[in-house]
Structure 1
Amino acid sequence: MLMGLQSWMSSLVEVNGGVVMGKNKRVMLPVTEVDLTKVKYDPAQIEAPHITGSWLKFFVKFVEMPLFGSLIIGHLKNQNKMNQMLRDTVIPEPPMFRPEFPPQEPESGVVFLKEDGKSEERVESAVRCLPHYDPASNHSSDSTPFRYWKIRDFAYFYRQKLTTPSRVAEHVICAIEEFSNKKPPTPLLISFNAEDVRKQAAASTQRFEEGKPLSILDGIFVAIKDDIDCYPHPSNGATTWLHEVRKVKKDAVSVSKLRSCGAILVGKANMHEMGMGTTGVNPNYGTARNPHDLERYTGGSSSGPAAIVASGICSAALGTDGGGSVRIPSSLCGVVGLKTTYGRTDIKGALCDGGTVEIIGPIASSVEDIILIYAAILGSSAADKISLHPSVPCLPDLSSHENSSVLGSLRLGKYTEWFHDVFSPDISNKCEDALSMFSETHGCKVVEIVIPELDEMRTAHVVSIGSEAAASLTPDLQDGKGTRLTLDSRINFALFNSFTAADYVAAQRLRRRIMYYHTEIFKNVDVIVTPTTGMTAPKIPKSALELGESNIKVTGNLMRFIIAANLLGFPAISIPVGYDKQGLPIGLQIIGRPWAEATILHLAAAFEGLRVETKQPASYFDILKRN
């Protein structure tokens, strides 16, 4: 017996934080015993075929066959070591079924907001946090670099009676219809009612005439992603059938808050069906195109929200982010996208309600506009206040003269090998340049970090978001609605339905390990800085427009850096920092500690202030200048 025990012990081999036992079984070391000095970066690549057109039809047919399909899915999972991680590994940590955050230290240089107060009052507080507004210096001319009109520009034009929300509304309606009538159609919105927009704009115009605007957001045009309720529009999640089983009776909480501030809600923005993709391809309604190059994807799943902001038609949009769905399209379209801490915004009235990785977040053309929209929509649900213990929401005081000293004290974490694992060196080079310029300007410290088990993190995320999506739709999919999904969605749900309860629990055990690593990292740094995506906007294959496509390798490149914020619930923001050699936008991501939105917004505003390279998108509508 003793010899047998010695033989068993001798078969244990330490492997990068785990332990191999025998031929098939792996035992991971307790997370507290992992030696980070021995962690080696593994540039793991996702193995899956790229399929479009008729071949995609055939593939889906095989995948959905009872026996043959399970063999195909099983092969793909084995190729990507999913079963090895989930079923052949002993993970000693208990599961963590939703983010659990340790108490956080207060942020510096901030203004606290009343979470339970009126949205209009929080927005007014946010305005006071912004730098002084000078209309003379903020208006572009032919001799100055391109920049987007900001929310405060619209407010200035309205208050000075240089234009009205009703006049701007006509240009917005014209621009939306022009996009929709392109050949092939490239609709930014799935549900749009011009008369409803005119009615909202008329009410806003009257408030300005009476000198009683509701807030600085009054008369500001905002698009709402099609998985967030905005009455009276249906919420289809870009399917053709969800409205049949889910009726919209009122606004989602976040939408209601924007409406109370006077925002003009233009309609439901296009998206990747059910949020289950990163490109934004949509055979149901037409695929939104990237305003910087109409032959390329916007990124997804919040494709319409990012494109409508990048094209200049709307000042802001609301998206959802469960796997980078706000940050990916923001990066690819050259705008700003904020993913808040899990539980910071109330997701009631969104299709993601009840999930553990997804949030509602704003997209805008500038950090200051993100701040204004964020101030309007923030506020945890009653249940999240009890379970998550959120800290008091706050904003960076960008009007303070102490900005530089606050920035100089921050420590920026960077995992160099991961940072440079990109499809094109243009991405990491631009992000590196921005980081160097920022460090030199503000004197802050860049700290080298190591993040173990990145591949395990990716697997834990796909099992978590996939299982939650499948669970929420199972009754409808079993009722025959599954065959009405697009082909790539059907492949995704075939994968999601292959996950077992044991797989889900194993993923949550991995989630706790990854949370431990990041909690330890945040003891030494204030933020983690990465590129937002591992590639710039990919081209749209013509064969994908009618039937869609399945390109998991592109998905892997687009999602490489974004998963931690979703799986662990951290806040993160994407800001544009330049362009690649093809003129396509590149985004830099800042990931913060739990509830530290003010810190990442402060950093994002400072990075934005250093940016010298801005280009007008090829497809851009100058909504104010047309007046």
Structure 2
Amino acid sequence: MGKKKVMLPADEVDLATVKYQYETIEGLLITTLGLVWMNSIFFVSGFDSNFTTAAPHLTGIGLKLFVKVLEAPLIGSLIISQLKKKNKMIEMLRNTVIPEAPMFKPEFPPREPETGVVPLDEDQRPEERVELALKSLPNYEPAKSLSTDPSSPFRYWKIRDFAYAYRSKITTPSIVAERFIAAMDHFNNMKPPTPLLISFDPELVRKQAAASTRRFEEGCPVSILDGIFMAIKDDIDCFPHPSKGGTTFFHEVRPVEEDAASVGRLRSCGAILVGKANMHELGLGTTGNNPNHGTARNPHDPARYTGGSSSGPAAIVASGLCSAALGTDGGGSVRIPSSLCGVVGLKSTYGRTDMSGSICDSGTVEIIGPITSNVEDAILVYAAILGSSTAERIALKPSLPCLPDLTSNELSHGSGSLTLGKYTEWFNDVFSTEISDKCEDVLNRLVENHGCKMVEIFIPELLEMRTAHIVSIGSESACGLNPDYEDGFVHLPLFSCTQAGIDKKAKFTLDTRTNLALFQSFSASDYVAAQCLRRRLMYYHMEAFKEVDVIVTPTTGMTAPVIPPAALSLGETNMQVTGNLMRFVVTANLLGFPAISVPIGYDKQGLPIGLQIIGRPWCEATILRLAVAIEELCCSPKKKPQQYYDILNGE
């Protein structure tokens, strides 16, 4: 028999026989260098014999040495090829007959409309959509919400709290702006540095705040978002700030001339855009490590990572400095840091939000989404930024965007209580059982308190899904970067072995260079095979959605990892960490489903834990409704982050 394998058509796979596949990290050691790969990153460690081992953690000089070997002529390509073979990528992508046709971007079958919702119109002005979103929320009680009783449990201020304080002349956007600027000065002077914003101009903040203050004085605020402080991830355009994507140079090859579509919508609602938030370089990492600008710290424990790649957006919201931030999510990059920092991260259906004006605006896995301290605020920001591009409206035919009608506390969606799908073996595949136990407890309370139903589901080929995702996002990332290399920035091939080529590549961080080495190795046939897998996986999940309303998992398989001191200057790769952080999130990216991470509690070290809800295509209202119910079940006690600023009261 040859090497060729033939998959059964997806609709002939017996789901009752599905066995959960645990991730294994295979390594290949060559001479004195241990070279190990999993998913998208490589490692090196000092061993002196040839054998297979688990992936080590690599940082500092070891990482630097490995990258030099990886970028060397001939040997680098050989290493990548062998490691892909060792980890069965070649078997999966090149030696397997996949009977399904490729799906080059998510294709969604027709669906029944959600019930108990407030419909929105994509062609409405953002301010009008936000007004409808406001009317969908429960009544606001200012006396209860604005209580400053020191004996009261900690809670984040909501957008409606700021709006009420402005309208009641308790404070003004300009006063809050000065508190925000003072807090930024404090962060910038901390040792070690804790950079939340890569681009920040106090005068721009003061100017926006003054305009908002005048509108409140004149009694004509634009919307409930008027005067609300928001940060924008550094890969989303926010004029006049540069978009560096966490690099030191990308703004030189991609100047910013106007706001991204989503940013412009927030600006029209009166939001105060404070600057560009820190991120993992080019979004190619899960921790938020950034040697270029400094690494953002987790407000719950500054010795730990925020998660990435939307590290700055999550940290600035968790620290109380902004009510909301925009992030991008191509591989969990909104939901991972939201989970690790104890805030809410929403990924909408692929195509629901116009991606124009973001560095990665041409991919098929990424969206722009809000990070907020609570679900209510996520609803308001989502209402402002939603709206498909013209091209996606034609291609995807999105259904009418809707929000849950929260004026009633009923979780019912018109045909009985929500049915929750849980794949138990996948659900329990976590670094610490504290995470799965906490998540399980919340699900049990949903069943007991809200009459939800729990159904066991089985999803085949999850390891194949992770491979299909990395080939998809990797190929699309490399394709998006190539024009800049050819357009007067790097006149040589990306992996030229000349000194000039090496000098240009050196502008990237070491872990970005290892990612790009892998991404450049993918062939056209690899990409097509990945898209065939995408269609199979879409079939399996849509079959599950015939039985359940949502799929529930932990957001991440671990809580916030410690930042190794050596990683601050040169970066690091740690695939045990990457695997644990990404295990549950890539489904929504590869298949385009909406998903949300909701904080549900803490582990024994006081680190936040998030629960993820994955919904049917275009069913944002359903996951938001369930997220509100979960938030209410987990409302107390909230833990005040170590790094927290009360910019509403100035405390």
Q: Which bracket does the TM-score occupy, shorter chain normalised? A: over 0.9
The separation in 2 between residues aligned to 1:441 and 1:408, in whole angstroms, is 14
C-alpha displacement of 1:45: 2.7
CA contact (8 A) 1:476 1:482 kept: no
C-alpha displacement of 1:145: 1.3
23-32 or 378-387, which deviates more: 23-32
What is aligned with 2:578? 555
The separation in 2 between residues aligned to 1:404 and 1:607, in whole angstroms, is 14
Distance 1:46 1:176, change over 3 A: farther
The separation in 2 between residues aligned to 1:517 and 1:403, in whole angstroms, is 27
What is aligned with 1:24? 3
C-alpha displacement of 1:556: 1.1
C-alpha displacement of 1:183: 1.0
The separation in 1 between residues aligned to 2:400 and 2:274, in whole angstroms, is 32
Task: Show structure 1 runs of 5+ residues with no match.
Answer: 1-21
C-alpha displacement of 1:512: 0.4
The separation in 2 between residues aligned to 1:552 and 1:339, in whole angstroms, is 24
The separation in 2 between residues aligned to 1:227 and 1:290, in whole angstroms, is 20
C-alpha displacement of 1:366: 0.3
What is aligned with 1:613? 637
The separation in 2 between residues aligned to 1:277 and 1:406, in whole angstroms, is 41
CA contact (8 A) 1:45 1:556 kept: no
C-alpha displacement of 1:551: 1.4
C-alpha displacement of 1:406: 5.2
CA contact (8 A) 1:186 1:288 kept: yes
The separation in 2 between residues aligned to 1:350 and 1:129, in whole angstroms, is 30
The separation in 2 between residues aligned to 1:264 and 1:405, in whole angstroms, is 36
Aligned mate of 1:57, from 59, 64, 74? 64
Distance 1:406 1:602, change over 3 A: farther
The separation in 2 between residues aligned to 1:277 and 1:595, in whole angstroms, is 27
Superposed, 1:171-570 pairs within 5 Å as 171-400=179-408, 402-403=410-411, 409-477=417-485, 479=490, 480=501, 481-570=504-593
CA contact (8 A) 1:45 1:553 kept: no
What residue identity is the alignment partner of 1:452? P
CA contact (8 A) 2:126 2:384 kept: yes
Give 3-state SS (helix, strand or coil) of 1:362's partner.
strand
**Alignment length, in residue pairs?**
606
The separation in 2 between residues aligned to 1:466 and 1:380, in whole angstroms, is 24
**Cα deviation code 1:207-226 (max 9, x no counterpart):** 00000100000000000000
What residue identity is the alignment partner of 1:272? H
Give the alignment's TM-score, normalised by structure 1. Answer: 0.95
Task: Show structure 2 runs of 5+ residues with no match.
Answer: 27-36, 38-42, 44-56, 491-500
CA contact (8 A) 1:341 1:571 kept: yes
**Cα deviation code 1:521-576 (max 9, x no counterpart):** 11110100000001100000011000001112211110000011000000000000
C-alpha displacement of 1:81: 1.4
The separation in 1 between residues aligned to 2:130 and 2:521, in whole angstroms, is 45
The separation in 2 between residues aligned to 1:66 and 1:342, in whole angstroms, is 39
C-alpha displacement of 1:444: 1.1
CA contact (8 A) 1:297 1:540 kept: yes
What residue identity is the alignment partner of 1:545? L
What is aligned with 1:91? 98
**Cα deviation code 1:152-189 (max 9, x no counterpart):** 00000000000000000011111122112111111000
Give the alignment's TM-score, normalised by structure 2. Answer: 0.92
C-alpha displacement of 1:364: 0.1
What residue identity is the alignment partner of 1:385? R
The reply to whether residue 594 of structure 1 matches residue 594 of structure 2 is no
The reply to whether residue 74 of structure 1 matches residue 53 of structure 2 is no
What residue identity is the alignment partner of 1:128? K
**Cα deviation code 1:273-321 (max 9, x no counterpart):** 0000000000000000000000000000000000000000000000000
CA contact (8 A) 1:229 1:350 kept: yes
What residue identity is the alignment partner of 1:169? A
Identity percentage over the alignment?
Answer: 71
CA contact (8 A) 2:411 2:418 kept: no
Give 3-state SS (helix, strand or coil) of 1:161's partner.
coil
The separation in 1 between residues aligned to 2:262 and 2:175, in whole angstroms, is 26
**Cα deviation code 1:70-94 (max 9, x no counterpart):** 1221232223211111111111111
The separation in 2 between residues aligned to 1:411 and 1:239, in whole angstroms, is 44
What residue identity is the alignment partner of 1:40? K
The separation in 1 between residues aligned to 2:533 and 2:74, in whole angstroms, is 30
C-alpha displacement of 1:405: 6.7
CA contact (8 A) 2:114 2:413 kept: no
CA contact (8 A) 1:407 1:444 kept: no
C-alpha displacement of 1:614: 1.2
Distance 1:46 1:446, change over 3 A: same
What is aligned with 1:42? 21
What residue identity is the alignment partner of 1:39? V
C-alpha displacement of 1:139: 2.6
What residue identity is the alignment partner of 1:224? I
The separation in 1 between residues aligned to 2:277 and 2:24, in whole angstroms, is 32
What is aligned with 2:646? 622
The separation in 2 between residues aligned to 1:118 and 1:391, in whole angstroms, is 18
Aligned mate of 2:607, from 577, 581, 584? 584
The separation in 2 between residues aligned to 1:428 and 1:613, in whole angstroms, is 19
The separation in 2 between residues aligned to 1:475 and 1:97, in whole angstroms, is 21
What residue identity is the alignment partner of 1:109? G
**Cα-Cα RMSD:** 1.2
Give 3-state SS (helix, strand or coil) of 2:506's partner.
helix
Give 3-state SS (helix, strand or coil) of 1:595's partner.
coil
